[in-house]
Amino acid sequence: MAKLLLYNPWLSVAFISWIIAQVLKVLLNTWATHRVDFSRLVDSGGMPSSHTALVAGLSTSVGITQGWHSYAFALVLCFSLIVIYDATNLRRSAGNHAEVLNELVAQLLKGRILRSEFVFPRLRELLGHNPFEVIVGAVLGIGIALGFSALAPIPTR
């Protein structure tokens, strides 16, 4: 894996963007909750969007090196837009559904409608991203790609 990243600068930018976004999630969550939660390193959802950072970094580095009019950039950009759409819409909607279901079960249990012994696993609510989280992820990925290309220019074509 290390060799792959060393010899593939596009993957390097993408994975570095993803790793930094995941670390930022831990730091921002720690700041907000005043407790360290390392599970945020591998969790989905939250600020910033690591999915968006990864694909924005990849798209930007391909655009810089292969050209903004290249077929490679067009393919990566389309893939990136699908990932970003999924992060903001589909996964966010699933998170909203989980939130409603969790509240419904809590209310049912309080009203003794269900047996009190019933064990209901709490559904994950933080699945997707709001638009601001996605924008920050995109800015992060693009910034890392620009910084990477400035520090270690990738050979073009």
pLDDT reported for residue 121: 62
pLDDT reported for residue 124: 64
Residue 79 counted as domain residue:
yes
Residue 156 counted as domain residue:
no
Reported as a pLDDT band with limits 50, 70 and 90, residue 103 is: confident
Residue 94 counted as domain residue:
yes
Residue 26 counted as domain residue:
yes
Residue 16 counted as domain residue:
yes
Model confidence pLDDT, tens digit, residues 28-68: 989 988 998 887 777 777 788 888 999 999 999 999 999 99
Is the pTM for the entire model greater than 0.75? no
Question: Which domain covers residue 14, as residue numbers?
Answer: 2-151
pLDDT greater at residue 104 or residue 136:
136
Q: Helix crossing, 131-151 with 50-66: angle to 10°?
A: 40
Residue 47 counted as domain residue:
yes
- Looking at the structure of the chain, the number of domains it has is 1
Residue 86 counted as domain residue:
yes
Residue 76 counted as domain residue:
yes
Residue 26's nearest CA partner among 15, 16, 36, 14 is 36
* % of the chain surpassing 90 pLDDT: 28
